């Protein structure tokens, strides 16, 4: 009887295993996979495909994180030195220089950042600096840092209105003298003897320009009128490979429509590639009372375009820009 009972139990176990195998096989067939190994290989393939994509879209957010860390530092610095604020007119000099050192270090490590023609920036007195706008103008941040460190002076900047609506940015914009661009305020800054940086292409150029580096200035001439009213020279500026560091999906029609319809700069930016950055400053265009804003705007645009033609291979190439990080006999043209 015991032997018969054991045999029955074995048969029952075999039967349950068979049922389980049948159910498992049915699930495999329903999922369209031959085996668990196939399933794992599909997962592995998906990870292999999507991991690089995730990384290139995450890196731009790291720049935003670095900006917020800079803001956090300013808040800590302000609290630590709040008693000194009443007695010093230069409370923020130490903070600016500290952040400039951090950003300059980031530029040197991640992009091997170089600047050519810094001697064209006056040690004293005003000048309007006009530059090409990358998808993320991190090159301009490096430029500001280098001016603070090597020239010992800060550069005021003009930024789009939406930047002033981002939570937490107010303190950073105030400390680094960023304004939203009324002509009167720009003229006032220049007449006070400050440097002022502006990109006529602005957000439109940031989102919708591409690796062929077109200048998207339209018929903008306000910046030229500012230079004329303030009677200051204009210095063109361009950074080599800035479009290879970060790129935008703004060339897709949907994002272009979204911006034109609602002025919403929602085009995703990807990249963060450690490509070589070289900033070039052109010869200053002196104040000339005999030309109007339209003529000066054309002259400045030709100056920036000349820098692009001289120092940027068109179309830009990410791999080539990465290889430029390695030592070579490259000499700036």
> So which residues are the catalytic ones?
133
Q: Which residues pair with 115 in a beta bridge?
A: 279
User: Helices 138-146 & 93-111, crossing angle to 10 degrees?
Assistant: 120
The upper half-sphere exposure of residue 197, i.e. CA atoms within 13 Å in the direction of its Cβ, equals 24
Find where tokens 């020279």 sit. 233
Alpha helices by DSSP H, listed for 128-201, are 138-146, 170-175, 183-191
Strands (E), the chain: 114-116, 127-131, 155-158, 178-179, 195-198, 234-240, 246-248, 269-271, 278-281
**C-alpha distance across the termini of the chain, in Å:** 99
| Tokens at 180, concatenated | 């939203």
């Amino acid at each position: 009887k015991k032997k018969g009972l054991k045999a029955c139990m074995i048969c029952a176990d075999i039967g349950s295993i068979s049922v389980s195998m049948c159910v498992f096989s049915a699930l495999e067939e329903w999922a369209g996979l031959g085996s668990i190994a196939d399933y794992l290989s599909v997962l592995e393939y998906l990870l292999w495909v999507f991991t690089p994509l995730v990384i290139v879209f995450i890196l731009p957010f790291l720049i935003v994180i670095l900006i917020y860390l800079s803001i956090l530092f300013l808040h800590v610095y302000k609290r630590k030195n709040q008693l000194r604020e009443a007695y010093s007119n230069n409370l923020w000099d130490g903070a600016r220089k500290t952040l400039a050192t951090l950003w300059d270090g980031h530029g040197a490590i991640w992009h091997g950042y170089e600047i050519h023609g810094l001697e064209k920036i006056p040690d004293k007195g005003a000048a309007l600096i006009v530059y090409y706008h990358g998808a993320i103008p991190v090159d301009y941040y490096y430029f500001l840092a280098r001016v603070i460190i090597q020239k010992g002076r800060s550069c005021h900047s003009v930024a789009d209105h939406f930047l002033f609506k981002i939570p937490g940015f107010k303190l950073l914009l105030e400390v680094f003298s960023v304004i939203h661009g009324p002509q009167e305020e720009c003229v006032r800054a220049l007449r006070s003897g400050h440097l002022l940086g502006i990109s006529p292409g602005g957000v439109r150029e940031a989102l919708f320009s591409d690796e062929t580096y077109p200048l998207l200035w339209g018929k903008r001439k306000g910046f030229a009128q500012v230079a004329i009213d303030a009677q200051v020279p204009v210095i063109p500026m361009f950074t080599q490979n800035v479009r290879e560091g970060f790129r935008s999906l703004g060339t897709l029609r949907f994002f272009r429509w979204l911006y034109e319809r609602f002025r919403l700069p929602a085009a995703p930016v990807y990249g963060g590639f450690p490509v070589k950055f070289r900033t070039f400053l052109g010869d200053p265009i002196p104040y000339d009372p005999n030309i109007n804003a339209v003529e000066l705007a054309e002259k400045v645009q030709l100056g920036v375009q000349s820098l692009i033609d001289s120092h940027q291979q068109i179309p830009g190439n990410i791999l080539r820009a990465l290889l430029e990080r390695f030592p070579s006999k490259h000499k700036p043209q």
